[in-house]
Homo-oligomer: A and B are copies of this chain.
């Protein structure tokens, strides 16, 4: 049986935690003097930087930054290997002059964390996006000298203008030539106006459940439409949350392209690769979609050899402390088992075999 691998699991390494604690603007970490019982809080979005329906920001504890908590979580859920990545918001907010050294520090920290747990931890690297393409390319090349990195995590804004920005081309080229996977992850969500006046009544549900995956869907669609995968046919991306909603909407996107008079006039239709082709050649999906309905679409879109189990740890912890295993993890495991039924090989591949092969683990 293949090992169980978690490809979607986050950590804030020491260098990043120090940085967040030293800051007073979003993103930052602090215990608020007017509400010390809420403990240390992490504020990563401007919209969280005020006490509204909930306490400011979100609680943050050792599970976010202590490597031993990651290992304990893995042991509890029978996860053999985790491919850890810095949780959002990464470094696009960082002063351009600091970004390169901060990224280096973070990646070196993460390399040491992985080294202390041989065979259990690998990583996706953090890029100094605010410092521009040259600095990013330099860090991508340096990551190949660190033995535990298998790719990089990036947000949907890229260098600030989205993933259809031509300024990203040297970065795509460097990732393609060094065979490093891009783990694409949301952070910004959608403009708050779309959620209406009652959004606060629904806790964090609308921005988290909808904003995140819709952001990912828009970002990857812009990348596809701009021809990123035609220019860089060897570029590979792993999409968070089973692609946002890309598997479900791929057919509609493809149909809209095929029926668009403007694209036809601009000769952008004939000869292009379809989204279905790109999904099966350049894109991997995690299996973090919390149900069989989504997972079936993801599997149909990407193929069962391109789907990889993940947990999104340490996010979505149980609300009841006494819970032993995490509901969020069990929901995703159960969906994988449900979809594969008696196909043990297919289930094992999604639970870890695909990640071992694609990410060259172990």
Contact = CB atoms under 8 A, between A and B. Distances in A.
Contact of A191 (B191, B210, B294, B300): B191
Interface stretch (A4-12, A116-124, A196-204, A231-239): A196-204
A308 interface: no
A92 B327 CA distance: 43
Interface in A212-269: 213-215, 217-218, 221-222, 225-226, 241-242, 245, 247-264, 266
A147 interface: no
A321 to B, nearest CB: 12
Interface in A122-179: 161-162, 164
Interface stretch (A65-73, A98-106, A285-293): A285-293
Contact of A247 (B226, B290, B294): B294
A289 B335 contact: no
Contacts of A195: 218, 222
A209 interface: yes
Nearest to A53: B262
A213 B252 contact: yes
Contacts of A206: 218, 221-222, 225
Given A194-B190, A245-B248, A253 B293 contact: no
A205 interface: yes
A1 interface: no
A241 B328 CA distance: 28
Copies of the polypeptide in the assembly? 2
Contacts of A257: 205, 209
B222 A263 contact: no
A293 B259 contact: no
Given A204-B260, A264-B319, A209 B191 contact: no
A294 B248 contact: yes
A210 B217 contact: yes
A195 B226 CA distance: 12
Contacts of A254: 290-291
Interface in A258-306: 258-264, 266, 276, 289-294, 296-298, 300-301
A331 interface: yes
Contacts of A210: 214, 217-218, 221, 249, 253
A324 interface: no
Contacts of A32: none
29 contacts: A191-B194, A194-B215, A195-B218, A196-B222, A202-B222, A203-B261, A203-B266, A204-B260, A204-B262, A205-B256, A206-B222, A210-B253, A213-B249, A214-B217, A242-B248, A247-B294, A247-B297, A248-B293, A251-B292, A252-B290, A252-B294, A254-B291, A255-B328, A258-B319, A259-B318, A276-B291, A293-B296, A296-B296, A297-B297
Interface of A: 53-54, 161-162, 164, 190-191, 193-198, 201-206, 208-210, 213-215, 217-218, 221-222, 225-226, 241-242, 245, 247-264, 266, 276, 289-294, 296-298, 300-301, 316-319, 327-328, 331, 335
Given A248-B294, A251-B293, A252-B291, 12 more contacts: A162-B198, A201-B225, A202-B263, A205-B221, A209-B253, A209-B256, A251-B289, A251-B292, A251-B331, A258-B327, A296-B297, A297-B297
